[in-house]
Amino acid sequence: MSERIMVLEGDGIGPEVVGCAIRALEALNDAYGLGLEFVKYDVGARSISQGEWTVEGVIEEARKFRAILKGPMGDPGIRNRQGTEGGLDLILALRFSLDLYANVRPVRLLPGVSSPLRNFSRPDSIDYTLIRENSEGLYASHFGGMELRDEVAVDNQIITRKGVERVSRMAFEIARRGRGSPWDGRKRVLCVEKSNVLRSFAFFRRVFDEVSADYGDVEAGHMYADAMAQYMVLHPDRLNVVVTENMFGDILSDLGAATVGGLGVAYSANLNERMGMFEPVHGSAPDIAGKGIANPVAMLLSASMMLDFLSKRDAAVALESAVIRAMSSGALTQDLGGHLGSEGFTDKVIENMG
DSSP state of 264: G
Quick check: 88 binds ligand IPM (CB under 6 A)? yes
Per annotation, catalytic residue among 139, 308, 312, 348: 139
| DSSP-assigned letters across all residues of 193-205 | E-TTT-HHHHHHH
Q: Which of 191, 285 has the CB closer to ligand NAD?
A: 285
| Distance of alpha carbon 320 from alpha carbon 18, whole angstroms | 16
| DSSP-assigned letters across all residues of 300-338 | HHHHHHHHHHTT-HHHHHHHHHHHHHHHHTT--BGGGT-
Member of 136, 237, 245, 250 binding Mn ion (CB under 5 A): 250
- Is the Cβ–Cβ distance between 196 and 168 less than 8 Å? no
- Is the Cβ–Cβ distance between 264 and 282 less than 8 Å? yes
Question: Least separation, in Å, of the C-beta of 13 and ligand NAD?
Answer: 6
How long a stretch of residues is the chain? 354
Q: Which does 130 bind (CB under 5 to 8 A by kind): ligand IPM, Mn ion, ligand NAD, none?
A: none
Residue range at the interface with ligand IPM (CB under 6 A); choices 85-93, 146-154, 173-181, 211-219: 85-93
DSSP state of 6: E
Q: Which of 192, 326 has the CB closer to ligand IPM?
A: 192
Among the listed residues 65, 58, 60, the one whose alpha carbon sits nearest the alpha carbon of residue 42: 58
160 half-sphere exposure, CB direction, 13 A CA radius: 8
3-state secondary structure of 190: strand
The partner residues of 152 in beta bridges, in order of sequence, read 148
Q: Which of 250, 335 has the CB closer to Mn ion?
A: 250
Q: Which does 92 bind (CB under 5 to 8 A by kind): ligand IPM, Mn ion, ligand NAD, none?
A: ligand IPM
Question: Least separation, in Å, of the C-beta of 46 and Mn ion?
Answer: 20
Member of 71, 74, 112, 137 binding ligand IPM (CB under 6 A): 74
* Burial class (CB within 10 angstroms; exposed 0-12, middle 13-18, buried 19+) of 42: middle
Q: Which does 284 bind (CB under 5 to 8 A by kind): ligand NAD, ligand IPM, Mn ion, none?
A: ligand NAD
- Is the Cβ–Cβ distance between 26 and 59 less than 8 Å? no
Active site residue 194: yes
User: Which H or E run includes 63?
Assistant: none
Single-letter amino acid, residue 63:
R
Q: Which of 182, 264 has the CB closer to ligand NAD?
A: 264
Quick check: 6 binds ligand NAD (CB under 6 A)? no
What track of x and - describes contact with ligand IPM for positions 267 through 286 (by CB under 6 A)? Answer: --------------x-x---
Question: Least separation, in Å, of the C-beta of 10 and Mn ion?
Answer: 14
Quick check: 127 binds Mn ion (CB under 5 A)? no
Contact residues for Mn ion (CB under 5 A)?
A: 250
Contact residues for ligand IPM (CB under 6 A)?
A: 74, 88, 91-92, 250, 281, 283
The catalytic residue positions are: 139, 194, 226, 250, 254
Contact residues for ligand NAD (CB under 6 A)?
A: 13, 72-76, 85, 88, 91, 263-264, 279, 282-288, 294-295, 298, 335
